Chains A and B, each alone.
Chain A
């Protein structure tokens, strides 16, 4: 009885090991791939330069920001009222209303002027360095 029990355990263990060794490549494709995508995306973000413009006291700070093509700029509204960042003078794009404490990001491909269309004397500039 005892010997038969040990054989049963060995047999089940072997079958289990075989199953695991066969299924692991499949498992890694299905379960690991999504995290791999995430890792790639994280690395891409980590390798990008992210610059920040803080909106406070009715100014964009810094008012002129030098970046490289492909960098990301984040506008953070730390002021006491809502603002926006809008292309100037053509209004080609806008962040939409940035409530107090909210932020908005944009990938930068070219030099541009921008302003707050709610408070039009608030102006800023993003300059893409060569």
Chain B
């Protein structure tokens, strides 16, 4: 559980660091380009699809399973639209430090989730969904939206915010019921 919390905190730290004014940042935290932002957006969604797939294999609780299926469907839908937009704009998503940070965090979380069983898994999955959505919402709001240049990509990121906030509320409700 501690590992899960720490990983989300690290992601939040990345989000806050990227949101700082350029003058206060080190050279490693420079402005993200649109291809890099597309990469972060697709990766962040894919990670939650992957968590959902683990949950469908392992979760016992009906609410946790329903939530996992919704996460798979909704985040896959966003990936489809992000990929379609990138294709339309001729943008190839480009790997970057934030994408790598997301993937590193996800690797640790998947390892932790895969070690758990039964009710302990259900709780760990839902707890992580609360933390992960909080971190992703913060990253999109404070980093990705302000730094995106292309108007259509910015609109897609903005349109995902109510959905992610809704997912967070759903995860908190499930958390309270477990």
Contact = CB atoms under 8 A, between A and B. Distances in A.
A119 interface: yes
B170 interface: yes
Chain B: interface secondary structure? helix
B169 interface: yes
B84 to A, nearest CB: 11
A80 B70 contact: no
Nearest to B66: A118
Contacts of B165: 58
B166 A122 contact: yes
B70 A118 contact: yes
Chain A: interface secondary structure? loop
B73 interface: yes
Interface of B: 70, 73-74, 77-78, 81, 156, 159-160, 162-163, 165-166, 169-170
Given A57-B162, A118-B73, 15 more contacts: A57-B159, A58-B165, A58-B166, A59-B162, A79-B163, A80-B77, A80-B160, A81-B74, A81-B77, A81-B78, A100-B77, A118-B70, A119-B170, A121-B169, A122-B166
Contact of A121 (B81, B159, B170): B170
Contacts of A120: 170
Report, as a range, how many residues of chain A touch the other chain.
Answer: 10 to 19
